[in-house]
Amino acid sequence: MRKMSSAPRPILNIVAALIALAPVALISSAKAAECPRKDALGTSRVLEVDPATYPRVGQKSFPQTLPLRDGEVVLTFDDGPTPGVTDKVLTALATECVQATFFMVGRNAADHPDMVRKIARLGHTIGYHTWDHPHLNKMPTDQAEANINRGIEAVQTALRGAASTVPSTPFFRFPYFESTPALLDRMEKRGIAVFGADFWASDWNKMTPEEELKLLTGRLEGHRKGIILLHDPQMRTAQMLPAFLRYLQEHNYHIVHIVPAAMKTVSDRTH
């Protein structure tokens, strides 16, 4: 630091400009500035996921997962959006200045397009989870892909006002993790990353929010990091979430926000 302070001012200016231009630094400082609470958990970093490098992630289903460090978790929420419950989840995330990923069911997106736009506006990542959550492995491949596409179209219509089978974010999750080799192959050829999970809260089972918190934190201590699967339409999860986020903060865990790798290109072009 002493050396820098004796450097001529133009060099200092160049150094400052280079630091400011780093996309991740920009995002981090913007988030820190936006967060009204000083002791909030916050989003520690943004991880760009390129489907070419990570076509399938989540060790519950696949051998590979995201390159997370010890203590780093990615929050993912499936099956919404659902008014009244997803809102609670969004409030809990906003209170802690945390970004997550929502794998949406197309039918729900079509019913609640305003919620799709709200989730996007809040800076969360949007993923796709079929039209109506069927057992894709029990239907012909073409029919299964048509259901996937209808889901993508519904979310795209909510987001962009026009149907498209090209997702804004190339992130997809199979309902019940029921993929088939043929469908995995098709997703890979389309450049869409398939998300499994590293662990979950089993929040589809009947339990109290307190029981869910205990289960989830116990699994977290076992894994130490990973992609966590939750369900935003589950009231028990919405009720548990504030305490879980506090737990993460108090136990020095870090939130990683995943975005498509293409966003880096957009950011670079901006500068």
List residues near Zn ion by CB under 5 A: 78-79, 175
Shortest separation between residue 22's beta carbon and Zn ion, angstroms: 36
Pairing of strands 199-200, 56-57: unpaired
50/178 with CB nearer Zn ion? 178
- Nearest distance from residue 203's CB to Zn ion, in Å? 11
CB of 24 to Zn ion, least distance (A): 31
Helix (H, G, I), strand (E, B) or coil at 255: strand
Residue 42 or 175 with smaller CB distance to Zn ion: 175
Distance from C-alpha of 189 to C-alpha of 247, rounded to nearest angstrom: 40
Task: Examine residue 10 and say whether the peptide bond preceding it is cis (omega within 30 degrees of 0).
Answer: no
> CA angle at residue 135 from 134 to 140, to 5 degrees?
100
Token reading at 265: 């290109």
Residue nearest to Zn ion (CB): 78
Judged by beta carbon, residue 35 or residue 193, the one nearer Zn ion is 193
Q: Which residues contact 29 (CB under 8 A, 6 or more apart)?
A: none
SS (H, E, C) 130-195: CCCCCCHHHCCHHHHHHHHHHHHHHHHHHHHCCCCCCCCCCEECCHHHCCCHHHHHHHHHCCCEEE
Question: Measured from the CB of residue 79, what is the shortest distance to Zn ion in angstroms?
Answer: 4
Distances (CA, A) of 236 to 37, 83, 108, 232, 240: 25, 15, 19, 9, 6
Minimum CB separation of residue 174 from Zn ion in Å reads: 9
Least distance (Å) between residue 171 CB and Zn ion: 14
Nearer to Zn ion, 78 or 212 (CB): 78
Q: In this complex, which beta carbon is closest to Zn ion, that of residue 79 or of residue 153?
A: 79
Give the closest residue to 105 by CA, choosing from 84, 126, 124, 131.
131
CB closer to Zn ion, 106 vs 170: 106
